[in-house]
Structures are given as C-alpha cells and as structure tokens.
Homo-oligomer: A and B are copies of this chain.
C-alpha cells in the first residue's frame, strides 16, 4: 500500500503563510518568499512547462514530491477562489494545465462538480472531511502514494486523524512572525516522529520524518 506524505515549505518560525492573506497575496505578507529557493530549479520549472533551470541538492527532493504519487489532497484556501459557495469560473491558480497531473481532492464545505483540467489533473471537491477525502484519494491512487500538499489546516487535520505516514518539510530561512502555523492544532506530544533525512539545499533545509504508529 502506498504511503500518505504531507509535503510543505515553512518559515524557520513554522509558518506556511504570512499574516493578512488576501486574494492578491494568497500566501500573506512574506509568504511567497518562502518558496523562492524553488523557482530557479529545473525540477520546478519543468513541472510548470518551462525550460532551463538549476540542478542542486534540492532537485531530488522536489522531484521526489511527485514520484510514485497517485492522488493529492489540498485545502480550500490553497485551491483559492475565496470563502463561501463556489464561483464556478474559479479554476485554481494554475491555469488550464495545473502542475499536478493526478486527481486532486479539495477539502471544502461547499459542493461542486469535478473539474477536469488539461494534463490529467482533475479536481474533486470533498465536503465530508479529511477521512472521506483520504478514502477517495486512496481509491484513486491505488498502490501509489497520496500527498497532502497544504495548506496548514489540511496537514493538521491529516496529522490529527493519524493519517500521515511521512512529513516532509522544507525550511526556508525566513521569519514571518505570524500567519498560518503548520504544527498548531495537533496533539503534538501524542505524535511520535522519527527523523528519516535532512538535506542541505541552497537557501533551504529539507527534513523528512516518519510518523511512528504503535
């Protein structure tokens, strides 16, 4: 059976997005900068249909994010389009060909028909919570892995429900001082972690943990 991997980038002070998230600045003040280490990478550029780019110690990490992945889960804020009932014209931030290329299950309180995009990405909207989203993602992924790719709440819910096998965090050398903190709202001391790997990137550190299950 494939694993469930939560994958995200945080600031050194543990935020995945800064304060004051708006439609213009969906990652809040300073949040976009968390990802700057990624933009020059060939592995990142290729996934977004661009040529060129660098190969660094971070390259295998970023390539690994999509290796053997059969389905993904994300939160409503990450998909975007504002809160409340859907404006059906909103099809995500990523244009006609999103960089996912697998079924993506979006956690939401508002029903919506599946949204088929180019490049084998289909967004499914799940209103029954994280357990239901995980069950549907497992059905779609078969023996492959499922990744929970953000934001903070989607990963918190997955961790709190005991659904995560591996936690992969890229730590950016920034202090945001506020915003959405990744590791809030989980019963921390009840979650046992084993460090699997730490990789020194260029302006980023990648750490991977296994969630130890009794």
Interface residues of A, Cβ cutoff 8 Å to B: 11-14, 18, 29-30, 169, 171, 173-178, 183-184, 186-189, 191, 193-195, 197-201, 203-205, 207, 209
Contacts and interface: CB of A to CB of B under 8 A. Distances in A.
B188 A195 contact: no
Please state the number of chain copies in the assembly.
2
Given A14-B13, A199-B198, A200-B197, A177 B189 contact: yes
A189 B30 contact: yes
A177 B188 CA distance: 5
Contact of A173 (B29, B178, B194): B194
B12 A189 contact: no
A187 B198 CA distance: 28
A198 B200 contact: yes
Contacts of A29: 189
Most interface-central of A183, A194, A199 (chain B CB within 10 A): A183
A168 to B, nearest CB: 12
Contact of A186 (B11, B14, B173, B175): B175
A155 B12 CA distance: 15
B12 A209 contact: yes
A205 B173 CA distance: 14
